[in-house]
Chain A
């Protein structure tokens, strides 16, 4: 089978064979990361613009490395988050990018739907969603499943994944549930009810109010970041209380399957959603996720940015 996508906006757009193809290609890209010379000329002459309306070092750097290792020319464009403040409208930004000859735009924005909006406005460039509001973060989901898939003999069928944290405001969880389910895993959500949408089944996962039960028998436990603002909004009382009840410490992790993986999209809040001992422990895939991120993004960029249709 061949890869026919030119954009990646959402995990939903992929079929299971397509996702498995992408993961397989990511393995080969990861091999490149071990070499002294990591750069290949596959995207030589292509211009990729990283259009980040929300500050993000981690995701942007990961994309930037992927782009540079593939030999592309890279421009980082940090823009303001709202068109109502001084500066260009998003529509004008899109046309400017086109005029500049961008072959691809990697976009992160605080508002959902922006990557689709850009794709509609851009005629030539490939669009990659690096996170839109609390809606989707497909490349994070892909690197997450890839990391687990590698460690589980390339199969996630029947795996049980527990995702713990602020589901309500998380784009990571929405995409991760889609990706894990697509590969045959089952997902359980845990966290304070104030940080859950009312309709969790719309997301495709079951909510378990008891965090211990949620983690029980899990093959992987995925922790979401808690942002300080949520305490200020009164959604939970203190970081201490959050950590005591929902934080991944050794006691909670003991309830998961022996050797269960620990994952986190980063950056981690030590002592809040995860204890240091667990984050740095032998089952933690957190650093592997970072490395996977570059490989997966390389595979994605390579596959999507072919030439014009023959």
Chain B
């Protein structure tokens, strides 16, 4: 059944009974529970052999994983200002097709999201888009210039869920410190892009084998580590929480691990591409710009360290950093192309596939938590995306088929992006149903069976 048809009969008004699946509540699989009933936008019941209420739509999900709706903490929607690359509608539909119920929109738009009016605008237009919910992050600094603090309280009231100057670190240490203190009581965290920019001028690829062999300037590991250390020291001193995004190196992760052990309120996320790809992929592709991203694809040792970080709990979330560009900005020689990897519609599959082939030691529950309850804990309560499945909670659900194989073909994407490093690759495992507030926003099911 197509997404459109499902919407007509399952537009949130009709109860939805998901039967026969393996239920993941955000932290663990529930034994003896196979059914979830969604009604009036809430989880009405969890149980076994639940009766189907009058007029309910039933979906048979035997063999599939029924999870809380996935949460993406970091995506670029290019709207307002660069809508030839992506906009709230295409991005929202793309995220939904990627299994995400909600995505956080980064504020490096044109103009940047540095005031409450723009925040409200994104929330409203995002809601109407009909796919994943979009929750904006607001800039830490006015115009994202890194100098003066933006009106953070007003943006928090308007519904901003993070404050960040991403694609860049907060420029001035003093501003970062003040922002940490100022936001402590607003319930909205600072999300920091860790990078010491003075070390990364003209950098293109990771320092290491890739810079040595390609002859291009490298991003030193120290640039990320120094960015992380700055945030950790300030977080510790101010006794405030900070979230570090797209951590890509073993050294930075180690610093975060030590700080956590020491009681510092720090959280972090890693991207799917840093979990699945490495500098070797850049070299093997003959320096194809699809593999150009900041932070760059790192060594295989760094990639392995990120998986260790998932296994031992240091990593709190997997966030896509979906960065769509038009061909005019990406179909260029490496050094000329923009940084960024577009991946909404295959990111979850790529990670599931990698774990399946290379990291069977990482328990599936640990991985699924990184898309659900753990990022859910980092969003403000008012956002109403706790990343959990329990009676009374909002009806956001993502269903994953761990055995379904697919080929990545960006020509079929709902995203406007067509260039991705995953093009042509085959992955096993993918989301097949996304539900937001009881309404189906994406389905790859055909009357219960998975449509290829």
Chain A residues with a Cβ under 8 A of chain B: 9, 82-84, 89-91, 109, 111-114, 116-117, 133-136, 169-171, 174, 197-200, 202-203
The yes or no answer to B380 lying at the interface (CB within 8 A) is no
Pairwise interchain contact A202-B215, C-beta atoms closer than 8 A: no
Residue of B nearest to A170 (CB): B215
Nearest B-chain residue to A53, judged by Cβ: B333
* B167 interface residue (CB < 8 Å to A): no
Q: Which residues of A contact B212 (CB under 8 A)?
A: 197-200, 202-203
Using a Cβ–Cβ cut-off of 8 Å, how many residues does chain B contribute to the interface with A? Answer: 20
Cross-chain contact of B286 among A84, A113, A199, A202 (Cβ < 8 A) = A113
Contacts A83-B332, A133-B335 given; indicate if A112 touches B209 (C-beta within 8 A).
Answer: no
A69 → chain B closest CB, angstroms: 31
B60 contacts chain A at the CB level, 8 A cutoff: no
Interface flag for B211 (CB, 8 Å):
yes
**Is A135 in contact with B336, judged by CB distance below 8 angstroms?**
no
A selection of 26 A-B contacts at a CB cut-off of 8 Å is: A82-B336, A83-B336, A84-B336, A89-B332, A90-B332, A91-B331, A111-B335, A112-B215, A112-B287, A112-B334, A112-B335, A113-B214, A114-B333, A116-B288, A117-B332, A117-B333, A133-B216, A134-B215, A135-B213, A135-B287, A171-B215, A174-B215, A197-B211, A199-B209, A202-B213, A203-B213
> Roughly how many angstroms separate A113 CA and B286 CA in the complex, as a whole number?
6
What are the residues of chain A within 8 A of B214 when measuring CB–CB?
A: 112-113, 133-135
Contact of B336 among A111, A134, A199, A203 (CB under 8 A): A111
Contact with A along B271-288 (1 / 0, CB 8 A): 000000000000000111
Q: State how many angstroms separate the Cβ of A201 from the closest Cβ of chain B.
A: 9
- Which residue from B209, B216, B328, B331 sits with its C-beta under 8 Å from A134? B216
- Which residues from A are CB-within-8-Å of B328? 89
Known: A84-B336, A89-B332, A133-B335. A199 touches B208 (CB 8 A): yes
For B209, what are the chain A residues with a Cβ–Cβ distance below 8 Å?
199, 202
Q: Which of B207, B208, B213, B289 has the most CB of A within 10 A?
A: B213
* Contact across chains for B287 and A116 when beta carbons are under 8 A apart: yes
Q: Which of B331-366 contact A (CB under 8 A)?
A: 331-336
3 nearest A-B pairs in the assembled complex, by CB-CB distance: A134-B215, A113-B287, A116-B286
Question: Which of A109, A171, A198 is the one whose CB lies under 8 Å from B333?
Answer: A109
Contact mask for chain B residues 84-105; partner A; CB cutoff 8 A; 1 contact, 0 none: 0000000000000000000000
CA–CA, A136 and B333, complex, Å:
15
Contact A202 B216 (CB under 8 A): no
Q: Please give me the residue from chain B that is nearest to A169 by CB atom.
A: B215
Given contacts A83-B336, A89-B328, 13 further A-B contacts (CB under 8 A): A91-B332, A112-B334, A113-B289, A113-B334, A114-B333, A116-B286, A116-B287, A116-B288, A134-B215, A135-B216, A136-B215, A174-B213, A202-B209
Residues of B within 8 A of A83 (CB): 332, 336
Looking at A90, A109, A112, A134, which has the most chain B CB atoms within 10 Å of its CB? A112
Task: List residues of B (169-208) whose CB comes within 8 Å of A's CBs.
Answer: 207-208
- For A133, list chain B residues within 8 Å (CB): 214-216, 335
Complex interface: chain B residues within 8 A of A112 (CB): 214-216, 287, 333-335
Q: Hey, which chain A residues are within 8 Å of B288, CB to CB?
A: 113, 116
CB distance from B92 to the nearest CB of A (A): 30
Q: What residues of chain B lie closer than 8 Å to A203, measured between beta carbons?
A: 212-213
Within 8 A of A (CB), among B200-232: 207-209, 211-216
A253 to B154 alpha-carbon distance, docked (Å) = 72
**Complex alpha-carbon distance, A83 and B286, angstroms:** 20
Q: How far is the CA of A82 from the CA of B332 in the complex (A)?
A: 10
Q: A171: which B residues are within 8 A, CB to CB? A: 215
A116, B285: Cα distance in complex, Å: 9
- With a cutoff of 8 Å between Cβ atoms, the chain B residues found around residue A111 in the complex are 333-336
Rounded to whole Å, the gap between the CB of B250 and the closest CB of chain A is 16
Cα–Cα, bound, A202→B212 (Å): 7
Complex CA distance for A113 and B336, rounded to whole angstroms: 11
Whole-angstrom CA separation of A200 from B212 in the bound complex: 7
The residue in chain B whose Cβ has the minimal distance to the Cβ of A118 is B333
Contacts of A84 in B (CB 8 A): 336
When chains A and B are docked, how far (Å) is the Cα of A174 from the Cα of B212?
Answer: 9
CB of B330, distance to nearest CB on chain A (Å): 11
- Residues on B with C-beta less than 8 A from A109 are 333
CB distance from B50 to the nearest CB of A (A): 54
Chain B nearest CB, measured from A33 CB (Å): 32
**A175 CB to nearest B CB, Å:** 10
Nearest-CB residue, chain A, relative to B211? A197
Inside 8 A of A9's CB, which chain B residues have their CB? 286
Looking at the assembled complex, report how far the CB atom of B3 sits from the nearest CB atom of chain A, in whole angstroms: 35
Q: Distance in Å from the Cβ of B155 to the closest Cβ of chain A?
A: 34
Shortest beta-carbon distance from B296 to chain A in Å: 14
Residues in chain A near residue B331, CB distance under 8 A:
91
Question: For chain B residues 229-274, which have a beta carbon within 8 Å of chain A?
Answer: none
CA distance A197 to B289 in the complex (A): 22
Q: Which residues of B contact A82 (CB under 8 A)?
A: 336
Give Cα A91–Cα B329 distance, bound, in whole angstroms. 12
CA distance A17 to B41 in the complex (A): 69
Bound complex: CA A10 to CA B217 (Å): 20
Q: How distant is B338 from chain A, measured CB to nearest CB, in Å? A: 12
What residues on B are CB-neighbors of A200 within 8 Å?
Answer: 212
Q: In whole angstroms, how far apart are the Cα atoms of A9 and B287 in the complex?
A: 12
B206: min CB distance to chain A, Å: 11
Residue of B nearest to A171 (CB): B215
Nearest A residue to B327 via CB reads A91
Tell me which of B211, B215, B333 contacts A90 (CB under 8 A).
B333
In the complex formed, the residue of B with least CB distance to A121 is B331
Residues of B within 8 A of A117 (CB): 332-333
Instruction: Give every chain A residue within 8 A of B211 (Cβ-Cβ).
Output: 197, 199
Q: Shortest distance in angstroms between A200's beta carbon and chain B's nearest beta carbon?
A: 7
Residues of B within 8 A of A134 (CB): 214-216
How far apart are the CA atoms of A111 and B215 in the complex, in Å? 9
Enumerate chain B residues within 8 angstroms of A135, measured Cβ to Cβ.
213-216, 287
Cβ-closest chain A residue relative to B282: A113
